[in-house]
Structure 1
Amino acid sequence: MKYLPLAARICLALIFVKAGITHLMGFSGFADMLGQRLFLGGLLAAGTIIFQLAGSLSLLLGYKVKIGAILLIFFLIPATLMFHNFVADGEQLNAFLKNVGLIGGLLMVIYTGAGAVSLDEALES
């Protein structure tokens, strides 16, 4: 059972690692897309990538997971509300609910901590 929190952290982190790397590799297109919808698209794109990669690395390593989870939640809330408006577009409901589920999982990490197999635990010992 001591590996269960590690497995949960990995599952949560994977989507953010993939998104962060994809956005980084296609930065100009990502920044342009954000710039069409929001003010300061380039700055928001850079912030998004930093939050996604820093937060996901925090979860993967089990280091400062509460801070990492908070970074990811701070990314998810506006992204969910801005880009997955299921009221305006009913086809966005699944994406909206997926993000709500991710927020729920991250809240659980904040509550429970990193678990036994983590840098946080190793540094406490």
Structure 2
Amino acid sequence: MRDTLLLIGRILLIAIFILSGLGKVFDLAGTAAYIGSKGLPLPTVLAPLVAIAELGLGLAVAIGFQTRLAAYALAAFSLLTIPFFHDFWNMAGEARMLNQVQALKNIAMVGAFLILAAVGPGRYSVDRA
């Protein structure tokens, strides 16, 4: 049961990264524009890198390949996006509320990734094959 729950948990946890990564791949120009609107440098370079990271690391966690390393990387990624993309402390009204929820969602995902890094992917993974 433990291994089945770890597999389901991994898939549910990374679904947002795979879907977001695919969205970025299919709209690199829009992604670059959004990154640029946040004042980050080199948005046309960062956009494909972020898309590849979300997809690649997401798939790694899904199949259980280098799971601990991918979980640490996605934990760091999730945490680092908060001050750049979910800076609710600089907002007011509905935008503040929505971005605070997004920041808290990211913090919760960091916790889940740290748990995954601690316990490993379980039996149903490339790491354990």
- Taking structure 1 as the reference length, what is the TM-score of the superposition? 0.91
The 5 A counterparts of 1:40-119 are 40-89=42-91, 90-91=96-97, 92-119=99-126
Shift of 1:13: 0.9
Distance 1:38 1:23 in 2: 16
Distance 2:35 2:61 in 1: 26
The answer to whether the 8 Å contact 1:55/1:67 transfers is no
Q: Gaps spanning 5+ residues in structure 2: where?
A: none
Q: Secondary structure at the match of 1:16?
A: helix
Distance 1:40 1:70 in 2: 25
Regions of 4+ moved over 4 Å: none
The answer to whether the 8 Å contact 2:75/2:110 transfers is yes
What is the aligned partner in structure 1 of residue 29 from structure 2?
A: 28
* Identity percentage of aligned residues: 30
Shift of 1:11: 0.7
Distance 1:53 1:67 in 2: 15
The answer to whether the 8 Å contact 1:20/1:49 transfers is yes
1:107 maps to a residue whose letter is: L
Q: Gaps spanning 5+ residues in structure 1: where?
A: none
The count of corresponding residues between Structure 1 and Structure 2 is 122
Aligned-pair Cα RMSD in Å: 1.2
The answer to whether the 8 Å contact 1:55/1:72 transfers is yes
Q: Secondary structure at the match of 2:123?
A: coil
